Chains A and B, each alone.
Chain A
Amino acid sequence: MQYAILCYNDEDVVWSMSPAEDQAMMARLAVVQDRFIKAGNLGPHLRLLPTTAATTLRKTSGEPLVIDGPFAETKEQLLGVFIVDVETLDEALDIARDLAAAKTGSSYEIRPIALYFPDQRSKAG
C-alpha cells in the first residue's frame, strides 16, 4: 500500500535556520531516508522551495487566473513529500515518526495514494 507523507511546517521558521543548522538537519534526514530506501519502503521524495516563489493557476468561468503565491494563506505550509510503500498504516506512521525525529518540528499528514504514475519519460522517448 502506498502513502504520501506530506510534511508541513511554518516556512518562515524553517528558512530562518542558519545554513549550518539546515545542513545538520538534512544530514540527519539523509540517514533516516537511506535506511528506508534500503528497506524498500521509501520511494521518491522531495523538498519544496518557499511559497513566495510559487504561482497559482485558478480556474474561473473564463480564462484561468494566474495568482502570485500559494493557493491559500495558511499558518503552516507544505514543505516536502515522501512516497512510501508499506503494508500497514502503523508502518507509515513509524516512518513519519523517524522522519519527524530527524527534522526540526513539523506535522506530517499520512495520506493514502489513489493512483501512482512513476516517471515514464525514459520509455516515452
Chain B
Amino acid sequence: MTDPVWINAALTAARPRALAALLRYFRDLDTAEEAFQEACLRALQTWPRNGPPRDPRAWLIMVGRNAALDGVRRRNRNDPLPPEETLSDTEDAETALADQLDDSHYRDDILRLLFLCCHPDLPATQQIALALRIVSGLPVAQIARAFLVTDAAMEQRITRAKARIGRNAAAFETPGAVERAERLAAVATMLYLLFNAGYSAADNAARSELGGEAIRLARLLLRLFPAEPELMGLTALMLLQHARTPARFDSAGEIVLLEDQDRRLWDGKQIAEGLALIDKAMRHRQPGPYQVQAAIAALHARAARPADTDWAQIDLLYATLERLQPSPVVTLNRAVAVAKLRGAQAALDMIEPLAPHLSGYFYFFGLRGALLVQLGRTHAARTAFDQAIALAGTPAEALHIRRQLDRLMQQDAATAP
C-alpha cells in the first residue's frame, strides 16, 4: 500500500525531469506531455497495489516512452512513411535507459524544457503561464485563478504560446558552454518573474502557490547546477522574501509594511535555507544581481527587531546593485535605506530625478508621499498619495494608501483651530 499523498508528490517531483527526457526523445511537446500523462495514469493504477518502483522517475520515463511509441506505431500502421519524422532520434530511444538518467543528461534536458518557455517573443505573463502548465503541470483552472482570467482565456493563451515555442527547433541542439550559461540566465529571469507574479498577487492562495512553485523549480535547477552562485542567490532571494508571506498582510487582508511585521510569523525554515544559500554563494566571490538582492534580504532576516537593521550595509549593497544593474527602481529602493541613514530630505533628493522614469510606478508615489509626510509637507504628500492610489495594482495596495490619507486628514482635523 502506498500513500496517495506520496504518489502525488512523487509525480509532481518527477514531472520536470521526466517530461524533459521525453521531450528529448520525441522533440514534440504535445507527444511528450501525452506520454507523461499516460505514464502518470498507469502509475496511479499500479503503484498503490504494487508499491512504488525503486526509481519512480526512470519508471515514468520508460512507461511514458513505450506508451507514446505504441501510439505512434498505431497511428502509422496505415502510413507508408516510416516514423523517423516523429522519432528523430531513434538511436537515443534504443540506448539503455540507465545510461541516459545521469545528471549531465538531465541538466541539458531540464534546461531545454524551461528555456523553451522563455521564448523571447512571448510576453512575461505567457512565459510564466506556460512554465506553470508544462513544467509544473498545474491545471489550467488553477493558473487562470492566479492570473485573474477565465479558464477559457488562459487555455487560449497557453495554446497560442505553445504553438509559438513549438517552432523553436534550435532549442534541441546540445548547447555549448556559452549558450548553456545564456539559457540558465534566461530561465533564472523567468523563475523570478514567476516568483514575483506570486509575490504581487492579490489572492492569498496564489501568493503561496506561485512563490512555492518558483522555489521548488529553483531548487531543482540548483540540484543540477550546484556551483552556480547566481542560482544560489536567486533561490536565497526567493526563500527570504517568501518567508515573510505570513506577516505581509493582516487578518483583514491589509498590507503590513516590513518594519511593522510581526517577525515571529516569518518562516524560520525558509530563512535558514536562504541564509545558508547566500553564505554559500558569497564564497564564490562572483557577485551578481540576485546575490546582492539576497544579501539585502538576508540583512532584514537577520535583524531580530526593525531597529537592529543594518541600514548602512543595505545602502552599500544597493550601491553595488546600482552598478551591476542600474535601474530607477533600484535607486528607489536604495532611497528607503538613505531615508533611515540620512533623513527624509536626502532620500527625497535622491528620488526626485527618477520622476520622469517612474511616472507610472505605484511605489514611487507611495514612497514619495511617505517621505513628504515625514518632512511635514502634507499638501504635497496628499498629491503623491492620490497619484499612488490611481496606480495601485491590487485593492490592498489602494487601501494601504487610503489609510495614509486618512491619517493625514485626522492630523489636519486635530491641528485645525
Binding site for B on A (CB under 8 A): 10, 12-19, 21, 25, 49-55, 66, 68-69, 73, 75, 104-105
Contact = CB atoms under 8 A, between A and B. Distances in A.
Nearest to B15: A16
Nearest to A70: B226
B216 A16 contact: yes
B227 interface: yes
Contacts of B219: 15, 50, 52
Contact of B212 (A19, A50, A75): A19
Contacts of A55: 276, 280
Given A12-B220, A105-B52, A21 B280 contact: no
A73 B223 CA distance: 10
B222 A52 contact: yes
Contacts of A10: 10, 13, 56
A3 B130 CA distance: 48
B352 interface: no
The 10 A-B pairs at the shortest CB distance, nearest first, are namely A69-B226, A105-B6, A16-B13, A12-B13, A53-B276, A52-B222, A104-B6, A16-B12, A13-B13, A16-B9
B277 A53 contact: yes
A19 B227 CA distance: 28
Interface string B102-122: 010000000000000000000
A19 B243 CA distance: 13
A106 B273 CA distance: 22
A51 B273 CA distance: 10
A17 B10 CA distance: 9
Contacts of A21: 5, 9
Nearest to B239: A53
A68 B9 contact: no
Nearest to B55: A75
Interface string B1-27: 011011001101110000000000000
A14 B6 CA distance: 8
B339 interface: no
A17 B13 CA distance: 9
Nearest to A21: B5
A53 B2 contact: no
Nearest to B58: A75
Given A49-B272, A50-B273, A104-B9, A15 B208 contact: no
B31 interface: no
B283 interface: yes
Interface of B: 2-3, 5-6, 9-10, 12-14, 52, 54-56, 103, 208, 212, 216, 219-220, 222-223, 226-227, 232, 235, 269, 272-273, 276-277, 280, 283
B134 to A, nearest CB: 16
B6 A53 contact: no
Given A10-B13, A16-B216, A53-B273, A73 B103 contact: yes
15 contacts: A10-B56, A13-B6, A13-B9, A15-B13, A16-B10, A17-B9, A18-B212, A21-B5, A25-B5, A52-B226, A53-B273, A55-B276, A68-B227, A73-B103, A75-B55
Nearest to B103: A73
A18 to B, nearest CB: 8
Given A49-B273, A52-B277, A69-B223, 14 more contacts: A10-B13, A10-B56, A12-B223, A15-B216, A15-B219, A16-B10, A17-B5, A17-B9, A19-B208, A25-B5, A51-B223, A52-B222, A54-B276, A75-B54
Contact of A104 (B3, B269, B277): B3
A52 B5 contact: no
A25 B5 CA distance: 10
Contacts of B232: 68
Q: Which one of B6, B55, B220, B273 has the greatest number of beta carbons of chain A within 10 Å?
A: B6
Nearest to B225: A68
B272 A105 contact: no
Given A52-B235, A105-B52, A68 B10 contact: no
Contacts of B52: 105
B311 to A, nearest CB: 27
A73 B103 CA distance: 10
A14 B5 CA distance: 10
Contacts of A68: 226-227, 232, 280
A102 to B, nearest CB: 11
A105 B52 CA distance: 9
Contacts of B222: 52
Contact of B276 (A13, A14, A49): A49
Contacts of A66: 283
B410 to A, nearest CB: 39
Nearest to B102: A73
Contacts of A73: 103
Q: Which one of A17, A19, A25, A54 has the greatest number of beta carbons of chain B within 10 Å?
A: A17
